[in-house]
Amino acid sequence: MSEQVRKLEPNALWNHFGDLNAVPRPSKKEERVIQFMVDFGKNLGLETHTDKIGNIIIKKPATSGMEDRQTVILQSHVDMVHQKNNDTDFDFDKEGIKMVVDGDWVKAEGTTLGADNGLGVATIMALLSSDDIPHPALEAMFTVDEETGMTGAKELDPSFYDGTILLNLDTEDDDELSIGCAGGIDTNTRYEYEELYSLEDVQAYRVEIKGLKGGHSGMDIDKGRANANKLMARFIYEAGMDVMLHSFDGGGLRNAIPREAVAVVSVLTLDQDNFESFVKKIKDELYTEFDPVEPNLTIELTKVDTPDKMVSGYEREKMIRSLYALHNGVFKLSLKFEGLVETSSSLARVSIKNGLFETKSLQRSSVESTKKDVANTIKCSFELMGAEVEQTGDYPGWEPNPDSAILKTMTKMYKDRFNKDPKVQACHAGLECGILGTHLPNVDMISFGPNIRHAHSPDECAQISSTKKFWDFLLDVLKETPKK
């Protein structure tokens, strides 16, 4: 199936994407893709390095006649989000992504595609391996661990770079030029709770919420999509104290909106009919509420054997009330950019089992003071119930510069080529530009990319025609790079 992808245009770009997608590359396990990129650069005879954290640097001299142009840094990250549907049999540590062409889109079979940010990486690879594309001197910056902490950007060694323009190829709408982004902070909590032996004469049920769209917890946070963890907390809360909780397992990656959650609960045998009636009622409520945006939402109820232990009623109330009350979604809209989400929070992970309650959430904001505010809001919600709270991975946003020289150049070029103005805006995602700017303060930065939809979910797809549009525009930009 992936052979279909290799026949697409621009051919060099899609072939490099196919090669890259054959290499497992989860965040914090990038050893194989680092070696793959080092071998790629050296096999081309190009100057190739890695810094102490593992970022790869590949340099290519300017083509004839372009030696007097400013050096351009081309930047993308090599790691990808590994997510799959529950019914998909796939080992991310051993298998390459299985790609398919569906009309004008490239998708994967039940897993994330890796277009975020693999298409950016493949684009740079196509430029580095070309022998007929005019370009200034290029410095390829391939960073590691973007998806789980931006470690590569944070630990970047700036001494490897002389470029004065940086093109980040990690946004997901081909009509946008991004000049700013949100910073972020992770809030992780831990609480040991009391377990009791389960009651007799009860019926246990496995409750599964699934079929949600999920997506990127920054770019998709304003689309009204359901969070499986929040829905499950609501379900258990509304079920009432007569329902006993044994376990709760929802969500996964810190930067993905949870698509699925599973809980095991039990009720007294004589209450089975009432409980099953309640489930039907709340199903109808949620289907009605979310039908416009979550048409595939399902809630499945399955009878199971009763586990040996359950959460005490007092502890159940503390945990479920905290989850139900927790802010999730858009926290504040920008006062400077119309329609832009300034601040948000996403409850990414919930686990209740074996006497331990843990959560992971991610707060984002393009304003540092508001990021602190929402992070404290989440922190206090859990501290009130007695949980331990640790906040880590704090990284800055990217302050927009509307007077950017490269922005003015690219805006004019976009309008000349496509006969319309691009959307110049900041985005509510954690681009590495904010961090890179602290290492390279005199570099003029901008971010753009092809259309990618449903990143961080198994529905991720990349538009073929848009990728060609993005590629052609990038070649124009390189051809017209300003002189030194």
What would the pLDDT profile of 310-323 be if each residue is shown by its tens digit? 999 999 999 999 99
Q: How far apart are CA 280 and CA 272, in angstroms?
A: 12
pLDDT in tens, 3-22: 899 999 999 999 999 999 99
- Would you state the pLDDT for residue 334? 87
pLDDT in tens, 48-86: 999 999 999 999 999 999 999 999 999 999 999 998 988
Q: What angle is formed at CA 245 by the lines to CA 239 and CA 248, rounded to 5 degrees? A: 100
Q: What angle is formed at CA 221 by the lines to CA 385 and CA 226, rounded to 5 degrees? A: 70
| Cα distances (Å, whole numbers) of residue 451 to 29, 142, 284, 339, 359 | 27, 21, 35, 20, 32
Q: Where are the chain's structural domains?
A: 2-182+397-479, 185-395
pLDDT in tens, 262-274: 999 999 999 999 9
- Would you state the pLDDT for residue 294? 97
Q: List Cβ neighbours of 176 (8 Å cut-off, separation of 6 or more).
A: 422, 423, 424, 425, 427, 448
Which string of DSSP letters, residue by residue, matches 217-231?
TTTTTTS----HHHH
- Would you state the pLDDT for residue 4? 92
Under 8 Å between Cβ of 194 and 441: no
Q: List Cβ neighbours of 465 (8 Å cut-off, separation of 6 or more).
A: 104
Beta strand 341-353 pairing with 244-251: antiparallel
Specify the range with the lowest mean pLDDT, choosing from 65-79, 129-143, 240-254. Answer: 240-254
Rounded average pLDDT over 117-130: 98
Q: How far apart are CA 359 and CA 251, in angstroms?
A: 10
**Token pair 């359950």: residue:** 310
Rounded average pLDDT over 240-254: 93
Considering the candidates 116, 139, 145, 146, report the single residue annotated as catalytic.
146
pLDDT in tens, 94-122: 999 999 999 999 999 999 999 999 999 99
Considering the candidates 30, 79, 116, 176, report the single residue annotated as catalytic.
79
- How is residue 481 annotated by DSSP? P
Specify whether 146 is catalytic.
Answer: yes
**Mean of the per-residue pLDDT values of the chain:** 95
Question: Hey, what amino acid is at 165?
Answer: I
pTM: 0.75
Domain 2-182+397-479 is found in CATH 3.40.630.10: yes
Positive or negative torsion for Cα 39, 40, 41, 44: positive
Which string of DSSP letters, residue by residue, matches 361-423?
EEEEESSHHHHHHHHHHHHHHHHTTT-EEEEEEEE--B---TT-HHHHHHHHHHHHHHSS--E
- Would you state the pLDDT for residue 1? 54
Specify whether 194 is catalytic.
Answer: no
Q: 170: helix, coil or strand?
A: coil
Q: How far apart are CA 248 and CA 245, in angstroms?
A: 8
Under 8 Å between Cβ of 352 and 319: yes
Under 8 Å between Cβ of 72 and 58: no
Residue 144 is encoded by which pair of tokens? 């590691």
Under the banding of pLDDT at 50, 70 and 90, the label for residue 157 is very high
Q: List Cβ neighbours of 43 (8 Å cut-off, separation of 6 or more).
A: none
- Output the CATH code of domain 185-395: 3.30.70.360
Query: In the chain, how many H helices and how many E strands?
Result: 12, 23
Backbone angle region of 149, left / alpha / beta, with phi > 0 → left and psi within -120 to 50 → alpha: left
* Cα–chain center distance at 67: 38
Rounded average pLDDT over 196-222: 95
Question: Hey, what amino acid is at 3?
Answer: E
Residue 434 is encoded by which pair of tokens? 């904010």
- Would you state the pLDDT for residue 46? 98
Q: Which of 52, 177, 174, 74 is nearest to 125 (CA)?
A: 74
Max Cα distance, the chain (Å): 84
Q: At what angle do helices 228-239 and 313-325 cross, to 10 degrees?
A: 130
pLDDT in tens, 271-307: 999 999 999 999 999 999 999 999 999 999 999 999 9
Helix runs in 130-183, H state only: 151-154
H or E segment to which residue 209 belongs: strand 202-210
Question: Hey, what amino acid is at 425?
Answer: Q
Q: How far apart are CA 413 and CA 14, in angstroms?
A: 25
pLDDT in tens, 166-195: 999 999 999 999 998 899 999 999 999 999
Rounded average pLDDT over 238-257: 93
pLDDT in tens, 354-393: 999 999 999 999 888 999 999 999 999 999 999 999 999 8
